[in-house]
Structure 1
Amino acid sequence: MKIRVGFGFDVHRLIEGRELWLGGIKLEHELGLLGHSDADVLIHAICDALLGAANMRDIGYHFPDNAGEFKNIDSKILLAKTIDLIATKGYRVGNIDATVCAERPKLKAHIPEMQEVLAHVMNIEPEDVSIKATTTEKLGFTGREEGISAYATVLIERD
């Protein structure tokens, strides 16, 4: 069996007038993330980690932010397409370990649903999707609630 690891990072600005999507679910919040798609930073970080692990460049290469077909797209669709892309090289997801950095909203209660949704999209068990939430103790752009960032590490494998 061959295994590879990948790392992903994403960040989006918080603004008024947008929905907040994180980990494939819509959260109630007065601000949403700005982006060409639904701006789900967690899914974008996971996509980048998966593509990097398979040595297939990055999310912007495959799903450019100037392509009309991806305007306001549900990031779960991008994740499913990413799973299909790594499968062309014979890879499947082993596990995901991700961290979301946000002051608000508090994410702890939403993590199990995120795990279920993401596991379903990637056709893996929820136990194989670790999601952690943290703040930056009011430091930096996340601390000032100007944006949200996410980090993801993945393991992919093939026989």
Structure 2
Amino acid sequence: MKIRVGFGYDVHRLTEGRDLWLGGIKIEYSKGLIGHSDADVLIHAICDALLGAANLRDIGFHFPDTAKEYKDVDSKLLLKKTLEVLTEKGYRIGNIDATICAEQPKINPHIPQMQKVMAEILNIDTDDISIKATTSEKMGFVGREEGFSSYAVALIEKI
């Protein structure tokens, strides 16, 4: 059995007047993340981890922010397309471990729904997608509530 590991990282700024999308779900909050797509920082980090594990470059290569078809796109579609690319190359997902860094709002209550939504898209068990939330203890851009960051590691197996 051949296994591979990939790492993903993403960051987006917060702003007024945008919806907050994380892990494929809309979270009620006074601000949202800025990006060419819906700026779902968690899904973007997971896509990068999966693509990197398969040596398929990164999310910007596959879904460039200069492409009109990805303007304001739902990141769940990017996740689905990432799975399609992995499958075409002969891989399946073993597991994903991800962390969201944000001061507010509290993310932990939303984690089970995020797991459910992304597990359905990726055709894996909710047990195979770990999501954790943390703050940056009021330090840096996350601590000043200027934006969110997210990290992800993915294990894939050759079918």
SS at match of 1:56: coil
Identity of matched residues, %: 70
Q: CA deviation at 1:89?
A: 1.0
RMSD of Structure 2 on Structure 1 (CA): 0.5
Report the Cα distance in structure 2 between the residues aligned to 1:129 and 1:116, rounded to whole angstroms. 9
Q: CA deviation at 1:88?
A: 1.3
Q: CA deviation at 1:148?
A: 0.3
Equivalence for 2:151 = 151
TM-score w.r.t. length of structure 2: 0.99
Q: Deviations over 1:26-59 (max 9, x none)?
A: 0000000000000000000000000000000000
Equivalence for 1:79 = 79
Equivalence for 2:38 = 38
Q: CA deviation at 1:85?
A: 0.4
Letter in 2 for 1:87: T
User: In the TM superposition, what are the counterparts of 1:74-153 in structure 2 within 5 Å?
Assistant: 74-153=74-153
Q: CA deviation at 1:158?
A: 1.6
Q: CA deviation at 1:139?
A: 0.2
Report the Cα distance in structure 2 between the residues aligned to 1:51 and 1:78, rounded to whole angstroms. 11
Report the Cα distance in structure 1 between the residues aligned to 2:121 and 2:104, rounded to whole angstroms. 26
SS at match of 1:141: helix
Report the Cα distance in structure 2 between the residues aligned to 1:69 and 1:154, rounded to whole angstroms. 27
Equivalence for 1:21 = 21
Q: Deviations over 1:68-92 (max 9, x none)?
A: 0000000000000000001111001
Report the Cα distance in structure 1 between the residues aligned to 2:120 and 2:149, rounded to whole angstroms. 23
How many correspondences in the alignment?
159
Q: Which 4+ residue blocks in structure 1 deviate beyond 4 angstroms?
A: none
SS at match of 2:110: helix
SS at match of 1:32: strand
Equivalence for 2:61 = 61
TM-score w.r.t. length of structure 1: 0.99
Unaligned runs of 5+ in 1: none
Report the Cα distance in structure 1 between the residues aligned to 2:8 and 2:134, rounded to whole angstroms. 17
SS at match of 1:8: strand
Q: Deviations over 1:102-143 (max 9, x none)?
A: 000001110000000010010000000000000000000000
Letter in 1 for 2:119: A
Report the Cα distance in structure 2 between the residues aligned to 1:129 and 1:51, rounded to whole angstroms. 16
